[in-house]
Amino acid sequence: MKTQPAITRDEEGYLVNPSEWTPEFALQVAREEELDLGEDHWIVIRFIREYFDEHQVIPDVRHVTAYLSSNRHIHKKTAKANLFNMFPYGYVKQACKLAGMKRPRAWSTG
């Protein structure tokens, strides 16, 4: 049986190297955060990963909200409310952590 290499996390549980992310990592963090991941969670996680891969920065919450609004054909305010319902402890604390991002030094969650 093959063992997975150790993933390095900081003291708050964020990945030190986002390239080490796997879907299994997201599932592990979801268990730690007591979240049951549904399809909308995965839409957000995949968008964060893809945005980061393309731009080398974590997308601001407004980019995720705009994407959810477009993807789900809902108003941006509804998309933002849905995002914060899915990740009740915040975009950075949960969504970015599940997506394997480093903890931003300074961040607005609004």
State both tokens at 57.
């920065």
The confidence score (pLDDT) of residue 5 equals 62
The confidence score (pLDDT) of residue 2 equals 52
Q: Which domain holds residue 77?
A: 18-98
Place of tokens 């968008």: 47
Count of structural domains, the chain? 1
Within a domain: 92: yes
Within a domain: 8: no
Within a domain: 63: yes
CATH classification at residue 44? 1.10.10
Distance CA 14, CA 12 (A): 6
- Mean pLDDT per block of 10 residues along the chain (110 residues) reads 72 94 97 96 98 95 96 96 96 95 69
Distance CA 39, CA 18 (A): 22
